[in-house]
Amino acid sequence: RCARLGAIVKGGIHLETLGRVDTVVFDKTGTLTFGRPEIQRIITFGEISIEKLLDAAASAELRSEHPFGNAIVAYVRMLGRSIREPERFDYTPGRGITALVDGVVILVGNAALMQDRDITVPLSLRHVQETASDVFVTQDGVLLGVIAVSDMVRPEAKGAIEALNGIGIRTILLTGDSRTVAEAVGREPGIRKIEPEALPEEKLARIRVLVKGEGHVVAMVGDGVNDAPALVEASVGVAMGSGTDVARESADVVLLGNDLVRFVETLRMARRVRRTIWQNFAGTLAVDAL
């Protein structure tokens, strides 16, 4: 029945645990959104040209598997510009890319990465669009500008979140995006609590507190490499079918159709299964007693 709903549950124990879930934690990109971001706006700093900014960003992101990096590379290719292969590529989860291109160090990432490298970002370049994420680009320590990338919220997300709230399950958005973006995305479907600017290790720590510190039964829904540790730590890890191989392997449940409404139906079915188990258990004890 789970398979017909579009969910693979790896083992009966996980289905029983699903029936006790009282908190669902969502990632944003690829989970509440489609994971197919598009470039909305490009702002250069000083006299820097847009072409120089895009060329640097695309070269650094060429080997990246992050949806934002793929969007930048696809955009530059659509413009017909050639992309140079990076000589070195390093990815820092929750922050961004450090690449060496033609002997020049290029950084492409969020404000946290810029802060780590002591690069000052003017306020005029921050949050250029409420629902877009800021991707900053530097070359040899010089800020080139910012690329605003946004992703569309899944149309079924609102119905799924409302259904979860309706059956008494607490909903939390735990994302690495800025507070502005997180609140804009989380408010629309009706998520009760929004926790932005969370690095992968902070997501893991937050799930650990919810499960072991506060005693909640937590389902974590995610799709990326960054989500894998939190998926393992949660009571039940739920991966989107379109997510990375690492996320799917780490999860206890895989949503084949990426439909969050199917996830709600799976939770409801798990509750019915658990109810049936206890009814049978109680019935058996009663018969044995008689």
Q: Is 118 a catalytic residue?
A: no
Which is the catalytic residue, given 22, 27, 118, 151? 27
H or E element, residue 64:
none
Q: Are 232 and 240 in contact (CB under 8 A)?
A: no
Q: Are 271 and 279 in contact (CB under 8 A)?
A: no
Angstrom CA distances, 198 to 28, 243, 290, stand at 11, 19, 56
User: Exposed e or buried b for every residue in 252-283, given b needs 16+ CB within 10 A?
Assistant: bbbbeebbbbbbbbbbebbeebbeeeeeeeee
- State both tokens at 134: 């800021």
Known catalytic residues?
A: 27
